[in-house]
Amino acid sequence: MGSTKRTTIRLTDERHHLLDRAKDIIAASETDDPPNSVVIDAALTHLIESYENLDDARQELDPTTIQQFNTSVVGLRYRTSVESRWR
């Protein structure tokens, strides 16, 4: 078995707000309160899938259509690349 890396995430007010909003999106019901680890896993999976979907779609759709699906994190820049705007 490999070692587990542990990271403490400091929850600023903004990060706490984002986690709460994300919990509302993935909660199975109004009374469901998924743990932060589940919310983070879902967000990371969504980021990767979104990136791959944009990258695949740019081969078939025109740039104007693709740009409608850009986000503040992942977006199409020109027709030939997908970039991350997060950092």
Please tell me the pTM assigned to this model.
0.70
Question: Which residue has better confidence, 15 or 77?
Answer: 15
Residue 62 falls within a domain, yes or no?
Answer: yes
Residue 2 falls within a domain, yes or no?
Answer: no
Residue 73 falls within a domain, yes or no?
Answer: yes
Percent of the chain with pLDDT over 90: 45
**What SS3 class is residue 16?**
helix
Residue 63 falls within a domain, yes or no?
Answer: yes
Q: Kindly state the average pLDDT of the residues 56-79.
A: 78
Question: Cα(53)–Cα(78) distance, rounded to whole angstroms?
Answer: 16
Structure tokens at 36: 């932060």
Helix (H) / strand (E) containing 1: none
Reported confidence tier of residue 79, pLDDT bands at 50, 70, 90: very low
Residue 41 falls within a domain, yes or no?
Answer: yes
